[in-house]
């Protein structure tokens, strides 16, 4: 897999430079030894307890992204997934520690414990007051002698950082950190491994499989499971976490993106966790956010801690570290009614029934729903891969409302179809078809017959959409079909639509939409998905109508 890097050996040093350069003068780095990569608070006066943490790189924004007021004073950056050296940790301690002393916050991995521990001993030998706290928040392996330190470490950073920023002495800062660390519980889930820079992604999971309890360096989880729906996954993880937490009392929750999950997925997972019985106890939510990642691992972790008043004050205290996920109180979702003018439910026409119309609508909608996968596959090659879903969503909504439609009133029927498509069908295709039916309905209301009304709809569609036949859009199937309709009826229209859709495979330039950004080579040989959808709709109409020239 390709990465935006120069030289893998210089990756961490250059990333640190990039972070410091973009900090607006808030951060600085130590210089003089390329193997020592330490980010520190710029202008630090060493008049309070210093907080130093760190570890291997690849977990960004942890740890350097959390250097700032009320958080870390320095972060020591090792190579990717490798503990920093003893000299690097000692350099960080020496750079920021004054008479008030220093607290080292260490994730419970052997390399970190040893290197940070020896650096602490050397700093003490130099006369500095240094305390250590080790975070072991991972509950993945029941009864583990050395539970790993994962994303819950960040909550310890914030609690200790708040205590230090408040001017409390080293013993109290260390005690606050240890108390926080003792109460935090974390658990991770992923559906893929991670990709080391310059390497390839480890593929140990089958499609649809997930790894529960994996580590932040790509270590295997305690078990592999079939990935359930988000609600079921949230209940599973919450149940595991609940076994290790107090039976009652408020909680803080950090929903952490391990690097490769989308924001949409993370929001769904956060909602699902809050809906569990354990989630009902969450009073303070942090994230969803990429806080402690594992490069590009497609996964997430949950960290929970008991929430006392002092802890809540620490987690919500201001910091100038922009990577810190804002802690917000959990409240019921706010909802507002739709604007009355949009709803227009009182003006909806009364339902009426016409077997021929119902059959035609059912045939078209069934065909479009069945074409979802095929159309999405076409659109994935020339667009954003959702044309099939857009048409299928609209088709299913119309089918669900079929008995409530004014089937026997052509103009009212078109307007009803337009309104339904506008509400449920996303993307440009859904809006265009809504415009098409609205204009056709207006023409029918003015006395036009079906062919003329549909042609009027196509004209308005062109006017608003900005496309014309030959621009590689659904118009390349729709316009020929409507031209053929008066003389050839629906069979002729279906053949014209099919030919028009096929012709788009030879069009190497698109006039509008996402396809217009693609090179000719990317378009060649690929039919436009919107045109194919129109062709399938006319084919379904022709089959349902058995050759009648009226589409309904």
Distances (CA, A) of 355 to 216, 358, 551: 61, 5, 13
DSSP assignment of 207-261: TTEEEET--TTS---SEEEE---HHHHHHHHHHHHHTTS-SSS-EEEEEEE-BSS
Does residue 474 contact residue 534 with C-beta atoms inside 8 Å? Answer: yes
Backbone angles phi, psi at 325, to 5 degrees: -70, 125
The whole-angstrom separation of Cα 431 and Cα 442 is: 17
The whole-angstrom separation of Cα 552 and Cα 533 is: 18
The DSSP bridge pattern shows strands 251-257 and 282-289 to be: parallel
Rg (CA), the chain: 31
User: Is 217 an active-site residue?
Assistant: yes
From 217, 298, 415, 464, active-site residue: 217
Sign of CA dihedral 62, 68, 74, 77: positive
The whole-angstrom separation of Cα 441 and Cα 446 is: 9
The whole-angstrom separation of Cα 116 and Cα 107 is: 10
Angle 387-400/427-445 helices, nearest 10 degrees?
Answer: 50
What residues are labeled active site?
217
């Amino acid at each position: 897999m390709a990465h935006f890097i120069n030289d893998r050996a210089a990756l961490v040093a250059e990333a640190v430079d990039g972070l410091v350069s973009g900090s607006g003068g808030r951060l600085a780095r130590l210089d003089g030894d390329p193997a020592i990569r330490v980010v520190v608070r710029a202008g630090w006066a060493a008049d309070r307890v210093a907080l130093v943490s760190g570890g291997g790189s690849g977990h960004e924004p942890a740890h350097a992204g959390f250097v700032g007021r009320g958080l870390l004073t320095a972060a020591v950056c090792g190579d990717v997934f490798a503990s920093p050296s003893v000299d690097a940790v000692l350099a960080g301690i020496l750079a920021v520690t004054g008479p008030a002393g220093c607290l080292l916050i260490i994730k419970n991995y052997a390399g970190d414990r040893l290197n940070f521990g020896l650096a602490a001993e050397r700093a003490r030998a130099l006369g500095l007051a240094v305390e250590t706290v080790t975070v072991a928040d991972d509950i993945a392996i029941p009864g583990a002698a050395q539970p790993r330190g994962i994303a819950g470490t960040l909550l310890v950073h914030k609690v200790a950082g708040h205590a230090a920023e408040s001017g409390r002495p080293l013993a109290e800062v260390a005690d606050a950190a240890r108390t926080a660390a003792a109460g935090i519980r974390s658990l991770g889930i992923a559906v893929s491994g991670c990709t080391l820079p310059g390497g390839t992604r480890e593929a140990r999971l089958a499609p649809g499989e997930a790894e529960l309890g994996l580590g932040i360096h790509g270590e295997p989880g305690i078990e592999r499971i079939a990935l359930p729906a988000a609600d079921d996954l949230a209940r599973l993880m919450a149940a595991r976490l609940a076994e290790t937490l107090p039976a009652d009392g408020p909680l803080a929750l950090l929903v952490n993106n391990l690097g490769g999950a989308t924001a949409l997925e993370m929001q769904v997972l956060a909602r699902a966790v809050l809906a569990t019985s354990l989630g009902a106890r969450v009073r303070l939510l942090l994230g969803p956010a990429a806080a402690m990642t594992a490069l590009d691992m497609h996964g997430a972790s949950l960290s929970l801690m008991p929430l006392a008043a002092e802890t809540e004050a620490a987690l919500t205290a201001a910091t100038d570290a922009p990577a810190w996920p804002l802690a917000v109180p959990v409240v019921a979702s706010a909802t507002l009614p739709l604007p009355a003018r949009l709803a227009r439910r009182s003006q909806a026409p009364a339902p009426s029934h016409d077997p021929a119309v119902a059959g035609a609508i059912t045939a078209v909608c069934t065909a479009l729903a069945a074409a979802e996968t095929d159309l999405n596959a076409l659109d994935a090659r020339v667009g954003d891969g959702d044309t099939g879903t857009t048409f299928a969503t609209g088709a299913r909504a119309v089918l669900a409302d079929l008995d409530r439609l004014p089937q026997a009133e052509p103009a009212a029927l078109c307007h009803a179809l337009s309104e339904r498509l506008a509400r449920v069908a996303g993307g440009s295709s859904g809006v265009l078809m809504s415009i098409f039916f609205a204009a056709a309905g207006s023409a029918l209301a003015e006395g036009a017959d079906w062919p003329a009304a549909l042609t009027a709809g196509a004209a308005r569609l062109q006017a608003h959409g900005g496309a014309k036949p030959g621009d590689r859009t659904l118009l390349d199937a729709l316009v020929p079909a409507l031209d053929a309709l008066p003389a050839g009826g629906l069979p002729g229209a279906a053949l014209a639509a099919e030919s028009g859709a096929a012709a788009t495979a030879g069009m190497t330039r698109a006039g509008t939409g996402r396809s217009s950004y693609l090179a000719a080579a990317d378009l060649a040989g690929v039919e436009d998905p919107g045109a194919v959808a129109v062709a399938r709709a006319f084919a379904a109409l022709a089959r349902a109508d058995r050759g009648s020239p009226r589409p309904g």
